[in-house]
A and B are shown apart, each in its own frame.
Chain A
Amino acid sequence: MKLRGPIVFLAGVLVALGAGWAGFPRLIYQTRRQPVDFSHQVHAEKAGAKCEDCHAYRADGSFAGVPALDKCSGCHTAAMGSTVAEKNFIDQYVTPQREPEWLVYARQPENVYFSHITHTKRGNLKCEQCHGNQGASNSLPPYQQDRISGYSRDIWGHAGRPAMTMDACVACHRQSHLEHSCLDCHK
């Protein structure tokens, strides 16, 4: 049996590869669920046409991010549809006036400074350019949290590529000859 050695070796490689491919992500990422099963698509069609209708800017140009509960309860004091998700949302959050603890995919480390208004108004970028076409999605993707860093695995990059990594920021800024000094994005 001259071939026994190579076969055992190849089998070992396959097992190790499989474990690394399938098992390792489970090991380092913890999958967490969003508090509410939210559909951007339904809201875009029925409540607001533009991203800014809910993800608003403040008067000083800072970005308000995920809307607070009172924005939701403006419409959802009583059930508007017949979905279980909405009923749960009203029972668990709107009625007891409890803010949902949304998990933010795009959350950046605390030493990162990012201004939405500079990018959308001065730079004329579309929201989709970095966030992907989330306005058309029907459900929120699972939130896979890196167990070590605490950040999300998927930061909603467009075309599946991570758009919100430092490399991506710098690449775009270099290409367009924009500010790319350290302190332009770090604080």
Chain B
Amino acid sequence: MIAQGKTNVAARYGMSIDVDRCNGCGACMVACAAENNVPPAANGATERTGLTWIRVYRVDNGGEGNERRSAFVPMLCQHCGKDAPCVAVCPQQAVDVDPATGIVGQMPERCLGCRYCMAACPYHARSFNWSDPAWPAGMEKTLNPDVAPRMRGVVEKCNLCQGRLHTAKAKAAMAGRVEIDPADYVPACVEACPTRAIHFGNLNDAASEVAQESHRKGSFRMLEALHTDPKIYYQSKKDWVRETASAPRPGKENARG
């Protein structure tokens, strides 16, 4: 009776981020926070106590003077394959990899706040709510009704704007379609990027821009040696950027970049 009309083809949503185009403006971080109801950092919040789903890192090649080169790398949840490190360690089954979309989802209501996943995540893509969210007076009116705010004591992270996927699905159903229109499902960071450094789409769809970008020369994934099978691809023409992303350079494990 309801078996008809289900999505049969599994999607693999992912991104391709052109590091050479990123100028480090941080618009993606702001757009993400606004879309996903991430509250502004409290006074005195640090890298460790603040919340963000996407973070733009600055890396450099370690050179001096004229030899120094810098690049900006937006880091978000890499949406690892089915053996995601966070999924394996969660004692609550609060994280799952959706087989239909490939999105690694975090369920705040199930999370008990042990932060094991934060320790397991090699990409530092997760943050912990040290306090209940607080918005400056008036800002609560700008909250996005499609995303529930998280409470104190749980971990949160990027879910590729799942709220927008919901909306796209509803729109498709209204039009009598089962498959969503790719133009309806674009995460906030992709939309906000002024240099169009981020491409988003279904990696399983060979015709999609993101699938083609991910096969281009110079495309790489973060810490590939860990075999986490991320769905966030990066690309750069610069060798030192690709090297930085692959593994720490021998003897320079603790050096920046």
Contact = CB atoms under 8 A, between A and B. Distances in A.
Interface of A: 57, 59-62, 110-111, 113, 115, 117-118, 121-125, 172, 176-179, 181-184, 186-187
Contact of B146 (A121, A123, A124, A187): A187
Contacts of B101: 181
Interface in B102-117: 103, 105, 107-110
B163 A187 contact: yes
Contact of A181 (B1, B105, B175): B105
B178 interface: yes
B173 A111 contact: no
Contacts of B98: 179, 181, 183-184
Given A118-B173, A122-B173, A183 B2 contact: no
User: What are the 4 A-B residue pairs with the smallest beta carbon separation, nearest first?
Assistant: A61-B174, A183-B105, A181-B98, A111-B148
Contact of B178 (A57, A61, A122): A122
A60 B171 contact: yes
B6 interface: yes
A122 B100 contact: no
A61 B173 contact: yes
Interface of B: 1-7, 96, 98-101, 103, 105, 107-110, 146-148, 159, 162-163, 166-167, 169-176, 178
A111 to B, nearest CB: 4
A42 B175 CA distance: 32
Contact of A60 (B3, B103, B159, B174): B174
Contacts of B105: 181-183
A123 B173 CA distance: 9
Nearest to A186: B107
B166 A179 contact: no
Given A183-B103, A186-B107, A115 B1 contact: no
A118 B110 CA distance: 26
A61 B107 CA distance: 26
A123 B2 contact: yes
Contact of B109 (A59, A60, A111): A111
B89 to A, nearest CB: 17
B108 A111 contact: yes
7 contacts: A57-B174, A60-B167, A110-B148, A121-B176, A122-B178, A182-B105, A187-B166
A178 B170 CA distance: 15
Contact of A178 (B6, B103, B163): B6
A178 B100 CA distance: 10
Contacts of A186: 107, 109, 148
Contact of B147 (A62, A172, A187): A187
Contact of A124 (B2, B7, B108, B175): B2
Contacts of B173: 61, 115, 117-118, 121-122
B107 A183 contact: yes
